[in-house]
Amino acid sequence: MSLSDWRFEQRIFDIINDSMPARYKASLENRSYHPDASRVGSTLQEFAADRMRSKAKRRWNDYVEE
């Protein structure tokens, strides 16, 4: 597994986990703290904001198809 794969999987985990009620949230073991890695509690908002950009300017355009 490459570092980019690790950050991708962490981001997907955070998007799902951020949308869960507090009592169901889990903490991620072995979290990446790379500057491009996602952060607990802010990933879902960042993802939603990215989806509002035009397709050419999206940072995460490869995560979800239209």
Q: How far apart are alpha carbons 21 and 4 in whole angstroms?
A: 28
Residue 32 or residue 63, greater confidence: 32
The pLDDT value recorded for residue 66 is 52
pLDDT tens digits for 27-61?
Answer: 888 888 888 788 888 888 888 888 888 888 887 66
Q: Where are the domains of the chain?
A: 3-57
The pLDDT value recorded for residue 23 is 93
Burial class of residue 30 (count of CB atoms within 10 Å of its CB; 0-12, 13-18, 19+):
exposed
